[in-house]
Amino acid sequence: MNIFDNMTPEFQWWTMLTLVVLGTYFWRGLGVLLAGHVSQDSEVFKWLSAVTYALVGALTFKLILLPIGQLTQVPITYRILVSVICLVYVVKFKAGLSRGLILGCILMAGYGLYLSYG
Amino acid sequence: MGIRCLGHYNRAMDRILHELNSADTFSKGMKLGVKAGIYGPGPVLLAGMIGFGAMGHGIGLSWLQTTSISFLMYALPGQIVFIEMMSMGASSSVITIAVALTSTRFLTMVLTLFPQIPKAHKEPSRLLSVHLVAMSSWAFCMRDFPKMKPEVRYGYFLGIGLICWVLAVPGTILGYIVYEYVPIWIVLPLVFVNPLFFLLSFADVVVPLNRIAIVVGGLSGAFFYSYFPENALLMSGLGCGTLAYLYDYFKRKKSST
């Protein structure tokens, strides 16, 4: 039997938040306890790092390609185009992350203006 | 206007770095950390939290739920994984594992940062202050620690960390409110700022294994989401991340023999 079955949806939500807060803090706390005792070049670290990047990579692609909410009003081709332009701006033209973000926001705002008044 | 702002920003950061060279106490380090936080990682983090607030509203959470996530988790990728998977109806165990895996980066970050801070006899608890470790504050501390005296470092870290954490709450609330009352041309950049931030921060990833993991994880994620929306993140992260690691491991073994 699932322990969540007898909970109200509100209580379920806050229980879930407690679990993920603990899951997040776990790594921070473990870092404090292990600091100075563990090599960062070990295979476990390499594996954890690859898993983290793959997960965040999947999340990023999902948010851009298959969003929910207001972003669905922007065509997928435009979302990809803005992402590519900003990435090229940051990588090829050595613009910092902040400038890349500002450019992306301006391009998205431009499409929003087109939707409102175009 | 923009160039003048950037000029002002650069001069302010130069002044802070200059003052750091001569700082010699915990409190001076903390004061400079707060200043560096306001000029450095603060604005980017604020933009991310405003975006998160808008996302939370878009997904249907209350303002208290959305703000509590930012305050208690204080880890944007994990926060977004959490609300995305909740909205997809994933099970509690799958959500907890995915969020915990997203947060594994904190282990490496703390392991590289904290050994640089000498232990003082009387200091704020590290098990509490470690909550302030975030990608933004970590990058600034790693860059600036070698330029300052060791006894100033803990104060500097607390200054940057606290100001960024404090900004996370009003940022989230602002994003939440703004989502409902402003026109779409303001909402669109707000909800796009976080995926774009993650995408652009990938440009700084230099380790080949991690680059492969991002591409394989990203492409497989788009595929898995279409067929297994509830477990897609975990399948991409754990499955494709492990595959990328194994590929790199055997490649390294082969080149060493």
Q: Are residues B218 and B177 in the same domain?
A: no
Kindly tell me if the per-residue pLDDT of A90 is higher than 70: yes
Q: Are residues B147 and B244 in the same domain?
A: no
Write down the pLDDT at residue B34.
Answer: 94
Q: Are residues B48 and B165 in the same domain?
A: yes
Kindly tell me if the per-residue pLDDT of B9 is higher than 80: no
Element (H, E) at B26: helix B26-39
Say if the Cβ atoms of B218 and A35 lie within 8 Å: no
Structure tokens, B181: 């009352």
Say if the Cβ atoms of A27 and B104 lie within 8 Å: yes
Distances (CA, A) of B48 to A101, B3, B53: 10, 23, 9
Could you read off the pLDDT of B208-221 as tens digits, one per residue? 999 999 999 999 99
Say if the Cβ atoms of A70 and B191 lie within 8 Å: yes
CA distance B210 to B214: 6
Q: Which residues contact A43 (CB under 8 A, 6 or more apart)?
A: B249
Q: Which residues of B touch A111 (CB under 8 A)?
A: 185, 188
In this predicted structure, which of A59-68, A109-118, B136-145 has the lowest mean pLDDT? B136-145
Q: Note whether residue A1 is domain-resident.
A: no
Q: Are residues B64 and B184 in the same domain?
A: yes
A48, B122 contact by CB (below 8 A): no
Q: Are residues A60 and A80 in the same domain?
A: no
Q: Are residues A82 and A94 in the same domain?
A: yes
Domain end call among B178, B198, B218: B198
Q: Are residues A79 and A101 in the same domain?
A: yes
How high does pLDDT run on average in chain A? 89
Q: Which of residues 60-119 of B touch A (CB under 8 A)?
A: 65, 68-69, 72-75, 77-78, 80-82, 84, 86-87, 92, 95-112, 114-115
CA distance B244 to B190: 32
In this predicted structure, which of A108-112, B32-36, B222-226 has the lowest mean pLDDT? B222-226
More confident residue, B223 or A39: B223
Q: Are residues B165 and B231 in the same domain?
A: no
- Across A8-14, average pLDDT: 87
Q: Give the pLDDT band (50/70/90) at residue A3.
A: low
Kindly tell me if the per-residue pLDDT of A18 is higher than 90: yes
Structure-derived torsion over alpha carbons of residues B20, B22, B25, B29, reported in degrees to the nearest 10: -10
Q: Does B142 touch chain A (CB under 8 A)?
A: no
Q: Does B201 touch chain A (CB under 8 A)?
A: yes
Tracing tokens 């400079």 back to the chain, one arrives at B32
Q: How many domains does the structure of chain A reveal?
A: 3
Percent of chain B whose pLDDT exceeds 70 = 95
CA distance B99 to B237: 11
A61, B218 contact by CB (below 8 A): yes
Q: Which residues of A touch B157 (CB under 8 A)?
A: none
Q: How many domains does the structure of chain B reveal?
A: 2
Write down the pLDDT at residue B108.
Answer: 80
Domain end call among B156, B180, B198: B198
Helix axes A43-65, B105-113, angle to 10 degrees: 130
Q: Give the pLDDT band (50/70/90) at residue B185.
A: very high
Q: Note whether residue A23 is domain-resident.
A: yes
Kindly tell me if the per-residue pLDDT of B153 is higher than 90: yes
B85, B95 contact by CB (below 8 A): yes
Say if the Cβ atoms of A50 and B58 lie within 8 Å: no
A25, A18 contact by CB (below 8 A): no
The CA distance from B70 to the nearest CA of chain A, in Å, is: 10
How high does pLDDT run on average in chain B? 87
More confident residue, B143 or A59: A59
Q: Are residues A28 and A55 in the same domain?
A: no
Q: Give the pLDDT band (50/70/90) at residue B1.
A: very low
Q: Which domain holds residue A44?
A: 39-65
Across the interface, which of A45, A60, A113 has its CB nearest the CB of B198? A60
Q: Are residues B214 and B104 in the same domain?
A: no
Q: Are residues A80 and A100 in the same domain?
A: yes
A7 alpha carbon, distance to own chain's centre? 29
The pTM for the full model equals 0.80
Kindly tell me if the per-residue pLDDT of B112 is higher than 90: no
Write down the pLDDT at residue A2.
Answer: 62
Q: Are residues B229 and B185 in the same domain?
A: no
Write down the pLDDT at residue B7.
Answer: 57
Tracing tokens 């969540």 back to the chain, one arrives at A4
Say if the Cβ atoms of A59 and B77 lie within 8 Å: yes
Say if the Cβ atoms of A53 and B106 lie within 8 Å: no
Say if the Cβ atoms of B245 and A47 lie within 8 Å: yes
Q: Which residues of B touch A63 (CB under 8 A)?
A: 80, 84, 194-195, 198
The conformational region for residue B228 under phi > 0 = left, psi -120 to 50 = alpha, else beta, is: beta
Q: Are residues A50 and A84 in the same domain?
A: no
Say if the Cβ atoms of B186 and A112 lie within 8 Å: yes
Q: Are residues A118 and A89 in the same domain?
A: yes
Q: Give the pLDDT band (50/70/90) at residue B3.
A: very low
Q: Which residues of B touch A67 (CB under 8 A)?
A: 191, 195
Q: Does B124 touch chain A (CB under 8 A)?
A: no
Q: Note whether residue A3 is domain-resident.
A: no
**E-strand stretches of chain A:** none
Say if the Cβ atoms of B58 and A69 lie within 8 Å: yes
Q: Are residues B49 and B145 in the same domain?
A: yes
Say if the Cβ atoms of A74 and B188 lie within 8 Å: yes
Write down the pLDDT at residue B125.
Answer: 93
Q: Are residues A31 and A43 in the same domain?
A: no
Contacts for B19-23 with beta carbons within 8 Å, 24 or more apart? B20/B144, B20/B147, B20/B148, B20/B152, B20/B156, B21/B147, B21/B148, B23/B148, B23/B149, B23/B152
Q: Which residues contact B129 (CB under 8 A, 6 or more apart)?
A: B157, B158, B161
Nearest CA to B167 among B31, B54, B44, B8?
A: B44
Q: Note whether residue A107 is domain-resident.
A: yes
DSSP string of B162-205? HHHHHHHHHHHHHHHHHHHHS-HHHHHHHHHHHHHHHHHHGGG-
CA distance A17 to B73: 9
Kindly tell me if the per-residue pLDDT of B89 is higher than 50: yes
Distances (CA, A) of B161 to B33, B44, B53, B140, B167: 8, 14, 20, 10, 10
Q: Are residues A81 and A116 in the same domain?
A: yes
Q: Are residues A50 and A85 in the same domain?
A: no
Tracing tokens 């001069």 back to the chain, one arrives at B11
Structure tokens, A116: 């409102």
Q: Are residues B112 and B237 in the same domain?
A: no
Across the interface, which of B87, B221, B242 has its CB nearest the CB of A57? B221
Q: Are residues B57 and B180 in the same domain?
A: yes
**Which range, A8-17, A88-97, B70-79, has the best average confidence (pLDDT)?**
B70-79
Q: Which domain holds residue B52?
A: 2-198
